[in-house]
Structure 1
């Protein structure tokens, strides 16, 4: 089985990425193949709305989205972790969602399982909005949303690494991973 983990964090080793890694731990234990797509290391251009993809069945922009399209087709499940930026997902992750439109008719994610992690500053930093945005992407792509203990995983963290002092949130991420494995069976 294959899991695709996407970190929507444009900064390396942010709290979202740390939680993503915690959520991926159960997959390593279950011997799933893990593919990480870290937007801090990738180049994904914005969609320009040209509709060329409707004719070509893929986007003409040559960047790391081609690798992600391939990962979409190979994965059995997907985890997306993102920080809340002004009560929204970061622009880099929004570009991924928009560019997925190019392969929408191929239904590369349809029927696959998906989990969501959102981190924001404070208790009302936009985490629930970020969860909804990612869940909307999943539902639009045919992904089946898997809950953690409740919905997706939310956390409050400010400075890089703050989440490491929150063992309960790290465990919440692992529970999300275990739930995806349970539903995959």
Structure 2
């Protein structure tokens, strides 16, 4: 069983990344494979809208997105975390979601399970969760809730989320729910 975590934050150990790590714990605790992609450590350019991928099946932009295409194919489930700026998904993560367009016909995420995490200073977490889940649905991902929906939290300074035991618990519940569904399907 393999789970992919994508962290959209540009802050090393940012609050949304910390929650993502907590959501991956149930998989690690069971000895399953995890891959944690940090967008702060790779370079992914925005889509050019050139439509070359529709002709060749390959994106012509030369950057690190090829790692993410391979991770989409590799995983059984995916959890995406985003910080919230301007009441929406962060731009680095939006580039990933847009660039999925190059493999839309292949549908590497179809039938896999996914969850979403959003952390912001004020408003916009629900919009961000909805944006991630809407993208997942368009990819054929089966969206999995935590206790209620995706995981949302309010935090400002780096590490603030570590004082929010309920948010950390909610992230682990999200991971546990995805794990249970993958296990049911695999069995």
Match of 1:131 in 2: 129
1:85 CA displacement? 1.1
Matched, 1:165 2:160: no
Match of 2:72 in 1: 72
1:31 CA displacement? 1.3
Match of 2:53 in 1: 53
Q: Tell me how far apart the structure 2 counterparts of residues 101 and 161 of structure 1 sit (CA, whole Å).
A: 34
Q: Tell me how far apart the structure 2 counterparts of residues 143 and 10 of structure 1 sit (CA, whole Å).
A: 25
Alignment of 1:112-131 (within 5 A): 112-122=112-122, 125-131=123-129
Contact 1:148 1:172 in 2 (8 A): yes
Contact 1:138 1:144 in 2 (8 A): yes
Match of 1:12 in 2: 12
Q: Tell me how far apart the structure 1 counterparts of residues 94 and 129 of structure 2 sit (CA, whole Å).
A: 13
Deviations 1:11-64 (A, max 9, x none): 211000000000000010111100011101110001010000001112011111
Question: SS at the partner of 2:171?
Answer: helix
5+ residue gaps, structure 2, are none
Q: Tell me how far apart the structure 1 counterparts of residues 88 and 10 of structure 2 sit (CA, whole Å).
A: 14
1:184 CA displacement? 1.0
Question: SS at the partner of 1:35?
Answer: strand
Question: SS at the partner of 2:12?
Answer: coil
TM-score, with length taken from structure 1: 0.97
Deviations 1:75-132 (A, max 9, x none): 000000101110111111010011000011001000000011010113xx20000000
* Residues paired across the two proteins, number: 183
Q: Tell me how far apart the structure 1 counterparts of residues 85 and 143 of structure 2 sit (CA, whole Å).
A: 22
Contact 1:8 1:80 in 2 (8 A): yes
Q: Tell me how far apart the structure 1 counterparts of residues 27 and 178 of structure 2 sit (CA, whole Å).
A: 9
Contact 1:10 1:90 in 2 (8 A): no
Q: Tell me how far apart the structure 2 counterparts of residues 184 and 30 of structure 1 sit (CA, whole Å).
A: 13
5+ residue gaps, structure 1, are none
1:71 CA displacement? 0.5
